[in-house]
Amino acid sequence: MLVVMRHGASEDEVRAVVQVIEELGYQARPMPGRQRTSVGVVGNDGRVDSSRLAALPGVVEIIHVTKPYKQVSREWRAESTVVRLPGGLEVGGGDVIVMAGPCSVETEAQIIEAALAVREAGAAVLRAGAFKPRSSPYAFQGLGLEGLDLLRRARQETGLLIVTEAMDPESVDVVAEVADIIQIGARNMQYYSLLKRAGRVAKPVLLKRGLSATIQELLLAAEYVLAEGNPNVILCERGVRGFDSATRNLFDLSAVPVVHALSHLPIIADPSHGTGRREMVIPMARAAVAAGADGLLVEVHPHPERAWSDGAQSLDPTQFQQLMREARPIAEAIGRRIAEPTGARS
C-alpha cells in the first residue's frame, strides 16, 4: 500500500503517517518524489485497513498495490528509476548504455584487447565473466579470482566500467570490489539467498531473466533485491526457452515495453544469448533499441573463433562497430542517444 501525501505536506505530517504505519505493525518507507512525497507500507501480506491513515492531515490518496510485487512496481513509484554509475553514466535515463565484451575473461591479452576494441567502438561498460555458470561441469568454469584481477587491470587500462557475474552469496563481496555492476545470471534469477545478499551491497545489480521465467517472476526476483535495501536494479531480457531450435532462445523483446509499463526499473536486452547466433545479433540489437531497451549487453571477442565460451554468438570488433553505427540512428529516431564512454577511473 502507498500513502500519497499532498504537494507541500509538512515533515510533521509525513512523520505522523510513518508513526501510524508502525503502530499498525508494518514498516514505513517514505519516498520523497519530484511532485510529492509518498510513504510505502511493507511487511503486510494482505490488504491493510487504511481508514486510520486516510484520515490523517496531508494525506491525499491511498493506493492499494494490486500486484504481488510492490517496490518494483510503477504503482509504487511512477517515476522511472535511473541507475547512476561512476563517471556520470545513467541507465534508465535518456541514454542507451552499451555493455560489451567477451563471454568470459580468458587471458590478460584477450581481455585488454577486447576492452580496447569495444571502447574504440563506443561501448561504455565492459562485460566479461570471471565466474561462469556453465550447463556442463566439464566446460570452462571461468578464471575466478584471477579473472576478477584481470578485469581490474582492464578497467585501469581503459577506464571502462565493469559488469561481471557473482554466482553465489559468498562471492558477492569480492565481485563488488571490482564490478561497477554485479550481474546475476539467468540460471540464478531465483537463487534467493544470492538476491538477498546482492540487496545489501552498494553496487547496482544486473538481473537477467531466467530461462523459463515469466515477467512476473523476474519482477518478484528484483523485489528481493529492493526489499533488502538496494534500489539500483537493471533488468535484462536474454531470451527464454522456446520450442524452436532455430535460435538458442526465444528473444522476447516484448518484455521491454511490458516491463516499462509494470515497473519503474530500467531494462536492457542481450541479443547474444537471446539468439545464440552471431549473424542474428546485429538485427536483434537494432530491434532492441527500437523497442525502447535502456541498454544492450553484447558479446564481443577479439577472435570469436578462439573463444573459450559462447564463440558462436560473439561478434568480432568490426561487426561490433557495425552494430554501434546502426544502433545510433535508431536511438535518435526515438529521441534517445547511445551513451558515450566516460573514462571513469574512480
240 close to 87: Cβ distance less than 8 angstroms: no
Interaction mask 206-245, ligand PEP, x per CB under 6 A: --x-----------------------------x-------
Q: How far apart are CA 10 and CA 274, in angstroms?
A: 49
Closest CA to 79 of 68, 98, 93: 93
Closest CB 272 distance from Mn ion, rounded Å: 7
Q: Among 129, 204, 266, 304, indicate the residue that binds ligand PEP (CB under 6 A).
A: 129
- Residue for grid cell 504481488: 68
Confirm or reject binding of residue 180 to Mn ion (CB under 5 A). Answer: no
Q: Look at strands 125-127 and 161-165 and give their pairing.
A: parallel
Residues 6 or more apart in contact with residue 40 via CB below 8 angstroms:
1, 2, 3, 28, 29, 30, 31, 70, 71, 76
- Residue for grid cell 584477450: 110
Question: How many residues bind Mn ion, per CB under 5 A?
Answer: 2
Confirm or reject binding of residue 142 to ligand PEP (CB under 6 A). Answer: no
Q: How far apart are CA 294 and CA 178, in angstroms?
A: 23
Q: Among 2, 103, 166, 282, indicate the residue that binds Mn ion (CB under 5 A).
A: 103
* Burial of residue 251 (number of CB atoms within 10 Å: 0-12, 13-18, 19+): buried
Confirm or reject binding of residue 222 to Mn ion (CB under 5 A). Answer: no
SS3 sequence of 219-274: HHHHHHHHHCCCCCEEEEECCECCCCCCCCCECCCCHHHHHHHHECCCEEECHHHH
152 close to 345: Cβ distance less than 8 angstroms: no
Binding at 238: pick from ligand PEP, Mn ion, none (beta carbon under 5-8 Å per type): ligand PEP
Candidate ranges 114-122, 154-162, 180-188, 279-287; the one touching ligand PEP (CB under 6 A): 180-188
- Positions in 261-320 near ligand PEP (CB under 6 A): 273
Comparison of 39 and 323: residue with beta carbon closer to ligand PEP: 323
Binding at 208: pick from ligand PEP, Mn ion, none (beta carbon under 5-8 Å per type): ligand PEP
Closest CB 105 distance from ligand PEP, rounded Å: 11
Q: Look at strands 59-63 and 2-5 and give their pairing.
A: antiparallel
Q: Which residue is nearest to ligand PEP (CB)?
A: 185
Comparison of 248 and 336: residue with beta carbon closer to ligand PEP: 248
Confirm or reject binding of residue 195 to ligand PEP (CB under 6 A). Answer: no
Comparison of 230 and 313: residue with beta carbon closer to Mn ion: 313
Candidate ranges 24-32, 103-111, 120-128, 245-253; the one touching Mn ion (CB under 5 A): 103-111
Confirm or reject binding of residue 185 to ligand PEP (CB under 6 A). Answer: yes
Q: Look at strands 267-269 and 161-165 and give their pairing.
A: unpaired
Q: Among 53, 103, 195, 235, indicate the residue that binds ligand PEP (CB under 6 A).
A: 103
- Residue for grid cell 571461468: 142
Q: Among 310, 323, 324, 339, indicate the residue that binds Mn ion (CB under 5 A).
A: 310
CA distances 60 to 14, 77, 197, Å, are 12, 16, 36
Strand partners, 127: 163
Interaction mask 42-81, Mn ion, x per CB under 5 A: ----------------------------------------
Closest CB 338 distance from Mn ion, rounded Å: 22
* Contact positions vs ligand PEP (CB under 6 A): 103, 129, 133, 185-187, 208, 238, 273
- Interacting residues with Mn ion (CB under 5 A): 103, 310
